Amino acid sequence: MKDTLSVDPASLKMLEIARERGIETAWDRYLAQQPQCGFGELGLCCRNCNMGPCRIDPFGDGPQKGVCGATGDIIVARNLLRMIAAGAAAHSDHGRDVVETVMRVATGEAKDYAIKDENKLKALAAEFNINTEGRTVKEIAKELAEAVLEEFGTRKGYIQTVERVPAKRKEIWERLGLLPRGIDREVVEAMHRTHMGVDNDPANLILHGLRCSISDGWGGSLLATEFSDVLFGTPQPVKGKSNLGVICKNAVNILVHGHEPILSEMLVAAAKDPELVAAARARGADGINLVGMCCTGNEILMRHGIPAAGNFLQQELAIITGALEAVVVDVQCIMPALGQLAACYHTKFISTSPKAKFPGAVHVPFDEHHALDTAREIIRLAVENYPNRNKDRVFIPEDITEYVAGFSVEAILKILGGTLNPLIDAIKNRSIRGIAALVGCNNPKITQDYNHLNMVKELIAKDVLVVETGCAAIASAKAGLLLPEAAELAGPGLAGVCRALGIPPVLHMGSCVDISRILVVAAAIAGELGVDIADLPVAGAAPEWVSEKAVSIGAYVVASGIFTVLGTVPAVLGSKVVTELLTRQAKDLVGGYFAVETDPFRAAELIINHIDEKRAALGI
């Protein structure tokens, strides 16, 4: 669908305002890039050394080798591995930051944070063979954080958390040499192998890509999720509001955007500070309104029901409302365009991480030692900025949709009465035909939210339970699909289950690192049934994916045995060898494999066919 930029009415209204005001957005910059580089689209360009840049002619008339002799297959495989490594690094570095914060809580350095979920702390301690008897929470937390920080460069063979996969899956990984030996190590090795003149075997490169991605999905991301739960509490179902209409006309509006809950959780606390609320009122505002964007939005909506202002392509649109006093960011998925855009308004663009600085941003360094004080300082900057708002330039679309989020594994178990058996029974008796995980971003290459929403609707109508994270989940929130009432759109089997349990047919399981929650559920179901994850009637999809993190996610989901459909085309088609490997041979090797399907209806059909095949093989 190309005739409209978005199916989100709020986005369309804001794009109209942007057009009237002559303000550019990602959609305009995407158009200005046309035609995009054909070599790049196919993955056929290389800049890995200074004999290059080199490119391979896909039509066979021009060069078929780089200066070093690298073929198109080698170049495509190397480029893909670098993308996986960057994505795995991003998730895992986020994970490390959260674990380090737990360490600082344990040593008393991060006094503004506390251990909120002691049960999870103890369960993790048991997993890492740490004694909890007669010890204080801080003692346990310190030893656990030390053990987990060791996982990033471990020398003990392979990382501990892969023990969570069913035995059959572990055997496959062992046989193929895919057990990750340490999270940092796999990323470093990916960079080493892709250096000029090192690994020049496409299959060997891709297999390492799978190992590197497993160190993310079953390592860095999983640890980010678990330790965020330890620090901030394990999410439980919570109601909230979504879309740009959550920005308030008469309040000090602060948009928090990025990924790590370490910052956003403190902003949530500081925004309630009576002194700051009074300061906002003294300047004529009704109060302080904190809203989230992208995954940091997901983190705080999952735990506090903080409104979600939107997903990836709405970050600029939020500023164009003219009603944001501040946009506060940490790391990942933050467009560098925001600085220049914020300067067209009174909006302060505040960066906080030493890892992520931006043109046009005010940098307020955030660290765990003075977290609440820094968060207060940031909120104060926003409050003091309120009188600078030009009321004539404010336009806030009225679109607001309610959602229910917070479906952690623990929350799902609680709803099911303590075990997964009711879910497994529903799958066996076909009330639930299968489970599809829809994840990932928005991409201006396709109509915003169109692929997400149409895939979700097709799948639930055919009794497939949908679980979501990231910007995909926000798309569903905005469309009202995260409400129990959306069961009306589900097939009779799924609708019956939703009504009996009071849940929506689409479960919001969190931010992108929380895809690990989905893996954990899949592993647990496989364990109960005594089969491998690859045997389950389960599939994955990234209908509008953008980021390198999504490439790592796709790789570890496939490596875990799950069929995955991509809705935007990855830069691999320049190599027949790599394309075949990902879309066919992977099935024989790891059970999971990729399909690329840009049409959401056909993509949903692929998933349903896959689910039915798996059901037939299981005899259910």
Residues that bind ligand SF4 (CB under 6 A): 46-49, 51-54, 66-68, 70, 75, 196
Residue pair 334/546 in contact by the 8 Å Cβ criterion:
no
Residue 295 contact partner, candidates ligand BF8, ligand SF4, none, CB within 5 to 8 A by sort of partner: ligand BF8
Minimal distance in Å, beta carbon 56 to ligand SF4?
A: 8
Q: Does 292 bind ligand BF8 (CB under 6 A)?
A: no
Closer CB to ligand BF8, residue 165 or residue 295? Answer: 295
Preceding amide of 35 cis, omega within 30 = yes
CA 45 to chain centre: 28
Least separation in angstroms between CB 75 and ligand SF4: 6
| Distance in angstroms (rounded) separating the CA atoms of residues 98 and 246 | 28
Confirm or reject binding of residue 515 to ligand BF8 (CB under 6 A): no
Query: Of 248, 245, 289, nearest to 268 (Cα)?
Result: 289
Minimum CB distance to ligand SF4 smaller for 49 or for 335: 49
Q: How far apart are CA 556 and CA 564, in angstroms?
A: 10
Name the segment binding ligand BF8 (CB under 6 A); options: 215-223, 320-328, 541-549, 609-617: 541-549
Report residue 291 as tokens: 């809203």
DSSP class of 591 = S
Q: Which two tokens stand for residue 248?
A: 């308030």
67 contact choice in ligand BF8, ligand SF4, none (CB below 5 to 8 Å, kind-dependent) = ligand SF4
**Separation between Cα atoms, residue 463 and residue 434, nearest integer Å:** 7
In this chain, which of 172, 441, 524, 572 binds ligand BF8, going by CB under 6 A?
441
Q: How far is the CB of 569 from ligand SF4 (least distance, A)?
A: 22
Q: Locate tokens 């495509």: which residue?
A: 76
For ligand BF8, which is the closer residue by CB, 240 or 440? 440
Does 471 help bind ligand BF8 (rule: CB under 6 A)? yes
- The reply to whether 294 sits near ligand BF8 by the rule CB under 6 A is yes
Residue 329 near ligand BF8 by CB under 6 A = no
Kindly state the DSSP code that residue 37 receives in the 8-state scheme. Answer: P
Nearer to ligand BF8, 92 or 385 (CB): 92
In the structure encoding, which two tokens stand for residue 38, read together? 């054909």
How far apart, in whole angstroms, are the C-alpha atoms of residue 377 and residue 276? Answer: 10
Tokens matching residue 359: 């043109």
Q: Pick from 333, 409, 464, 509: which binds ligand BF8 (CB under 6 A)? A: 333
68 binding partner (options ligand BF8, ligand SF4, none; Cβ < 5 to 8 Å by kind): ligand SF4
Helix axis angle, 470-478 to 294-304, nearest 10°: 70
Query: Toward ligand BF8, which CB reaches closer, 39 or 227?
Result: 227
Helices (H) and strands (E) in the chain, counts: 26, 16
Q: Is 98 in the site for ligand BF8 (CB under 6 A)?
A: no
CA proximity to 508, closest of 112, 242, 162 = 242
Contact 159/151 with Cβ under 8 angstroms?
yes
Residue 47 binds which entry of ligand SF4, ligand BF8, none, CB below 5-8 Å type-dependent: ligand SF4
User: What's the min distance (Å) between Cβ of 196 and ligand SF4?
Assistant: 4
Residue 79 beta carbon to ligand SF4: minimum distance, rounded to whole angstroms: 10
Size of the site for ligand BF8 (CB under 6 A): 14
* CA separation for the pair 259, 399 (Å, rounded): 24
In the list ligand BF8, ligand SF4, none, the entry touching 312 (Cβ below 5 to 8 angstroms by class) is: ligand BF8
Nearer to ligand SF4, 67 or 149 (CB): 67
Provide, rounded to whole angstroms, the least separation between the CB of residue 195 and ligand SF4. Answer: 8
Q: What's the closest the beta carbon of residue 181 comes to ligand BF8, in angstroms?
A: 25
Q: Give the 3-state secondary structure of 415-473.
A: HCCCCCHHHHHHHHCCCCCEEEEECCCCCCCCCECHHHHHHHHHHHHCCEEEEECHHHH
The alpha carbon of residue 11 and the mean position of all alpha carbons in its chain are separated, in whole angstroms, by 21
**Residues forming beta bridges with residue 55, ordered by sequence position:** 45
Residue 546: which of ligand BF8, ligand SF4, none does it interact with, CB under 5 to 8 A by kind?
ligand BF8
- Helix runs in 306-398, H state only: 315-320, 338-343, 371-385
Single out the residue of 120, 549, 610, 614 in contact with ligand BF8 (rule: CB under 6 A).
549
Only one of the segments 28-36, 205-213, 382-390, 545-553 lies at the binding site for ligand BF8 (rule: CB under 6 A); that segment is 545-553
List CB contacts of 174: < 8 A, sequence separation 6 or more. Answer: none
The partner in contact with residue 70, picked from ligand BF8, ligand SF4, none with C-beta cut-offs of 5 to 8 angstroms by kind, is ligand SF4
Tell me the C-alpha to C-alpha distance, in Å, between residue 377 and each of 100, 372, 382: 23, 9, 9
| Distance, CA of 587 to CA of 581 (rounded, Å) | 9
- Identify the residue among 230, 238, 288, 295 touching ligand BF8 (CB under 6 A): 295
Q: Which residues contact 424 (CB under 8 A, 6 or more apart)?
A: 525, 528, 529
The residue (of 75 and 526) whose beta carbon lies closer to ligand SF4 is 75
Q: Are strands 252-257 and 401-405 parallel, antiparallel or unpaired?
A: unpaired
Q: Which does 165 bind (CB under 5 to 8 A by kind): ligand SF4, ligand BF8, none?
A: none
Residue 312 near ligand BF8 by CB under 6 A: yes
190 or 460, CB closer to ligand SF4?
190
- Does position 512 bind ligand BF8 by CB under 6 A? yes
Choice between 75 and 333, CB closer to ligand SF4:
75
Q: Please state the separation of Cα 16 from the chain's center in Å.
A: 29
Decide: is 547 part of the binding site for ligand BF8 (CB under 6 A). yes
Indicate which of ligand SF4, ligand BF8, none lies near residue 49 (CB less than 5 to 8 Å, by partner kind). ligand SF4
| Contact (CB, 8 A) for 294 and 318 | no
Our CB check for ligand SF4 shows the closer of 53 and 530 to be 53
Tokens of 520: 């954990």
- Tell me which residues touch ligand BF8 (CB under 6 A): 294-295, 312, 333, 440-441, 470-471, 511-512, 546-547, 549-550
